[in-house]
Amino acid sequence: MASQEWFVNCPKGLESLLMEELSALGAESVRETVAGVYAEGSAEFAYRVCLWSRLANRVLLPLVKFTVDSAEALYEGVRAIPWHQHMTGDNSLAVDFVGSNDAIRHTQFGAQKVKDAIVDSLLHQGQIRPNVDLRNPDIRINAHLNKGRLAISLDLSGESLHRRGYRVAMVPAPLKENLAAALLIRAGWPEMLASGGALIDPMCGSGTFLIEGAMMAADIAPGLLRSSFGFHHWLQFDKGIWDNLRAEAEVRRAQGLATELPEIRGYDKDTRAIEAAEENIAAIGLEKVVRVSAKPASALVKPSHTPIDTGLLISNPPYGERWGEVDELRPLYQQLGEVAKREFSGWKLAVFTGNPDLGQELRLRSTKKYRFYNGTIAAQLLLFELHEQRAVEGDTPVRERPLSDNAQMFQNRLLKNSRKLQPWLKRSGVTCYRLYDSDIPEYAVAVDIYGDAIHVQEYAPPASVDEQAAKRRLGDVREAVMAMFPASRDKLFFKERRRQKGESQYQRQGAWHRNAKPFIVNEGEARLEINLGDYLDSGLFLDHRPIRQWLAEHARGKRFLNLFCYTAVATVQAALGGAKSSLSIDMSNTYLDWAGRNLTLNSISKLDHQLLRADCLEWLARREGRFDLIFLDPPTFSNSKKMDSVLDIQRDHAAMIRDAMAILEPGGTLVFSNNFRRFKMDEAITEDFAVENITASTIPPDFERNARIHNCWLVRHKDV
């Protein structure tokens, strides 16, 4: 088969390893570049890379490269490619476009132009129009615009090659499979295999290190579980060659599993992680090779059922991606270092961390350090020889230190706020409240109290603020909070709050925390589920407490509608206040499940108080049903993929209010609220309806320092 040039890309930092791997897989020549390697070889070589590469992300066939100084130049350059040699109109299509210049300023526009050119080229050849499938296309095109030059390539991989097919269960922040393989290679696992060494991961999570290590030991091709690749729909695909390659891989797998394989074990204190690891291990058929069990790192000992003189102890412990976690993690790293020295003399230890300060807590001297990237986070692989290893001289345990002057200043502000709120808290019985909200401009955080749990959110600092100065200030905050609430040290949650896009607001945060699990709080008569560890928001908007109280007081005998219901706390209060029935709508399954648990906690019938998953804008526009009391609290902005349109509260509120008023009974009330600080009510709404601004009366005492936290109106029909 004819030799041609391929571009094989990979995560940044893996280039030299990938170059060695491609040479071993039969590349005729290789040339390293940023985040990838150019390699010469036949199509059979490209198939082999897709099947056997442990490090690559994608295998691209470069088709053409040309200058783009206008949208027309882009279109004509792509249309000139003989696409009928690569695909037909029966194939679905997707375009990945990266880069921009003065002519092509948006990647979506660039992708659209590339797609149009391909479609027109095929139509000119008498083909039918191909469909676009962004999720699972038959043919994926890669377009990379850099310095005015556009490179068009055919993606032979399909889905990224790091997706082996065995990860059926997940834990927060898992390592990508090809990064885990690279770390194992750098840590010397292939050489360890040759000497009969064992592999142990004391914090195994979902088992990625263990599975990748076992696949190397058993000679299992990383792509063997995958049912399809991008080249399967390529017109130049040679099925005979591919079938031979797969048959060869199956034979090698069977032979590998029939040999005596090394001891490979994993442990984790989290039983959920162990369950996930077991599912993943079973998915690839390695149950007899890889064993996992629930055990904290502090209890780790070297297996004694058979003599094991050498091995690799490898771990990817949490490293405090979120600013408040670092101090909590120091004891974990200290324990790992102590256990490694005590139990695994003669072994090698490899620790992957994105925090060099925490690496020092191991109290060991590294023999080598390798730089990698875990996504966008710069990280290091630290390697240690544990034979007769000693702790670094001068190391001392972490001790309680007096507060710094700045931390003391911050604590003084917390104490001042607490004293001011105490009379109100005693009168009201409120147990969940905001203690601090950026009172001091340099300390841009919010501190919320949920019973005996403390929730601290850092607002993203402006670009003008020095990063190191910001980190020091956050350290001050943490010191002060821990000093003021010593009994809650195991219930401190720290997060960074940035504007959420689309689905991200519903996703688990992946923050490491020893007590990251839901718990129950009270708001008046209501019992509510709170989760401070898994998601950005807690499940309870504290500033809406007076609004929920108003709803409870006016809900008796009413048919209540809760739009954008979140965790349906307003519905719980309305139902406890005597609402006859209710309908709560949100498009997030995560929040609706949470809402259902809140209803159950309060023994509220789901027959009378129903939950509905729907796009609130679409549902409202249909103007279905009749209600006596409506709570409309939309987000300021939303571009969720589950919505057919983009929501902008300033632009869209008038239409939403009109749709809501169309289903509001005469004499009923619409409570309209939002959190857009610069919001202005549409004048036509105030002319057509009776509108009362009640914002001032809905700001609770704990938010008086931030009176623009929300806006709130009562809207009624004028003829009543």
The C-alpha atoms of residue 676 and residue 670 are separated, in whole angstroms, by 18
Give the model's pLDDT for residue 387: 67
Q: Can you give the three-state secondary structure of 255-277, one letter per residue? A: HHHHCCCCCEEEEECCHHHHHHH
Show the tokens assigned to 166: 């065995």
* Residue 518 vs residues 376, 528, 530: alpha-carbon distances, Å: 30, 10, 5
pLDDT along the chain (720 residues), means of 10: 91 95 96 95 97 98 96 97 96 96 93 97 96 94 96 96 94 90 97 92 96 98 95 96 97 96 94 95 96 92 81 91 64 92 93 88 92 90 77 41 83 94 94 94 91 88 67 83 82 67 41 63 95 86 97 97 97 98 95 96 96 94 96 85 71 96 97 94 96 96 91 90
**Paired sense of beta strands 627-632 and 559-563, if any:** parallel
Prediction pTM value: 0.59
The per-residue pLDDT for range 38-74, each reduced to its tens digit, is 999 999 999 999 999 999 999 999 999 999 999 999 9
In what order do the strands lie in the sheet containing 690-693? 609-613, 581-586, 559-563, 627-632, 664-674, 711-716, 690-693
For 473, counting Cβ atoms within 10 Å of its Cβ (0-12 exposed, 13-18 middle, 19+ buried), the class is buried
pLDDT at 461: 66
- DSSP readout, 368-382? EEEEEEETTEEEEEE
3-state SS, residue 133: coil
Cα–Cα nearest to 637, from 674, 588, 594 = 674
Q: Which residues contact 327 (CB under 8 A, 6 or more apart)?
A: 478, 482
User: To the nearest 10°, the Cα dihedral for 99, 104, 105, 111?
Assistant: -70
Give me the pLDDT at residue 462, please.
63
- Residue 140 in contact with residue 228, Cβ under 8 Å? no
User: CA distances (Å), 240 to each of 44, 47, 193, in order?
Assistant: 10, 12, 34
* Tens digits of residue pLDDT in 442-501: 888 999 999 989 999 888 766 666 666 777 788 788 889 988 988 777 788 887 654 444
Nearest residue to 186 (alpha-carbon basis) of 358, 14, 344: 14
**Residue 295, SS3 per DSSP:** coil
Region of 215 (left: φ > 0; alpha: ψ -120 to 50; beta: rest) is alpha
pLDDT on residue 528: 97
**Measured distance between the N- and C-terminal CA atoms of the chain, rounded to whole angstroms:** 83
3-class DSSP state of 48: helix
Question: Residue 394, class by beta-carbon neighbours within 10 Å (0-12 exposed, 13-18 middle, 19+ buried)?
Answer: exposed
Residue 579, CB-side half-sphere exposure with 13 Å CA sphere: 33
pLDDT of residue 147: 92
**DSSP string over 559-618:** EEEEES-TT-HHHHHHHHTT-SEEEEEES-HHHHHHHHHHHHHTT--TTTEEEEES-HHH
User: Residue 173: its pLDDT value, please?
Assistant: 75
684 sits in which H/E element: helix 683-688
- Full set of structural domains in the chain with CATH: 4-155 (3.30.2130.30), 177-218+261-385 (3.40.50.150), 400-498 (3.30.750.80), 515-720 (3.40.50.150)
